[in-house]
Amino acid sequence: MRYIPFGESKEKLSEIVLGLMRIGPGKTTTQSMSVQEVEFLLDTAFDVGINMLDNADIYANGACEKVLGEVFAARPDLRQKFFLQTKCGIVKDPDITYFDFSKEHILESVDNSLLRMQTDHIDSLLLHRPDALMEPEEIAEAFAILKAAGKVRHFGLSNCSPMMIERLKKVLTVPVAADQIQLSAAFTPAIDAGFNFNTMTDAGIMRDGGIIEYCGMNDIVIQAWSVMQYGFFEGVFLGSEKYPALNRVIDRIAEEKGVTNTAVALAWILRLPVSMQAVIGTTKPQRIRDSAAAASFTLTRKEWYEIYLAAGNILP
């Protein structure tokens, strides 16, 4: 496993992050995973070098945080082993889903997350999705209160553009440690515009504001999510008949390196020359082991470009 420095503390965190979105009830099951199942999942992750967890208050309406809290209550040693990140800011009302970055909501959400996860602090709090009505001064005040109280140690954002981050940084008294963005070998808008700068093609349209370059310049960790998905939760590209060329290239490289296609797909993300983490959402212990192998090798420049092109991209 490889590790990168994170935030003010410069703690060494694994390039692979275990996301816990699926440990609660979901589309295929009405029950959360058992405490014992999640314990084994976390033990497996730690054994292969993963030392960071990613959660959110919205995941299964709080159930994912709750079951993690039950695990921490049963196994306090696991809380000590992992850097714990969670997110807030998405509100699900009976009628609509909307975003809320108000001071009141942030403070209340953190208190609720602490209770559900049965811990006295969150190592990293991300604001989940940008709120067009956000008041930077309110966010700064909420972060300062949480930091002073010892409830949150680091702060970051999710799915926010460089200018949104700049607007917040103008008043924040704490640094922005991370930004989560969607990125995979089959979802590359954060990369495409750079290749197609000053062209008249659709690929030249900048949809991301230059987030990868911005984070690299400002020592902000990029955390990639939906790392195996194409589109917006449209499906997994590995093994998909929609991506035959991409799978042929990934499978060939995996065989050459003696790893799985999962490891190669993640290694493609980690190859970017900025502080990168890939958030995996599996509940399968073997998939965790396969994923961890992505941080044991580095794709060559040629291999990286082969994968990019095989996904259907065209270089100018």
- pLDDT > 90: percent of the chain: 91
pLDDT (tens digit per residue) in 244-258 = 999 999 999 999 999
pLDDT, mean of residues 166-194? 96
pLDDT, mean of residues 116-141? 97
pLDDT (tens digit per residue) in 273-283 = 999 999 999 99
- Candidates 3.50.50.60, 1.20.910.10, 3.40.50.2000, 3.20.20.100; CATH matching 12-229+274-283: 3.20.20.100
pLDDT at residue number 28: 66
pLDDT (tens digit per residue) in 284-311 = 999 999 999 999 999 999 999 999 999 9
2, pLDDT greater than 80: yes
If you search the block for the tokens 């998939």, which residue do you land on?
A: 287
**Residues facing 19 on adjacent strands:** 54
d(CA 154, CA 56): 15
| pTM to 2 decimal places | 0.95
pLDDT at residue number 204: 87
Q: What does pLDDT average to over the chain?
A: 96
pLDDT at residue number 205: 87
d(CA 144, CA 168): 13
- The overall longest dimension of the chain from CA atoms, in Å, is 58
Structural contact between residues 41 and 288, judged by C-beta atoms closer than 8 angstroms: yes
pLDDT at residue number 202: 85
pLDDT (tens digit per residue) in 12-52 = 999 999 999 999 987 666 788 999 999 999 999 999 999 99
pLDDT at residue number 83: 98
Structural contact between residues 75 and 39, judged by C-beta atoms closer than 8 angstroms: yes
pLDDT at residue number 94: 87
227, pLDDT greater than 80: yes
pLDDT, mean of residues 204-212? 89
- pLDDT > 70: percent of the chain: 99
60, pLDDT greater than 80: yes
Phi-psi category of residue 63: left, alpha or beta, with phi > 0 → left and psi -120 to 50 → alpha = alpha
Dihedrals φ, ψ of 85, to 5°? Answer: -120, 140
Per-residue confidence band for 118, with pLDDT thresholds at 50, 70 and 90: very high
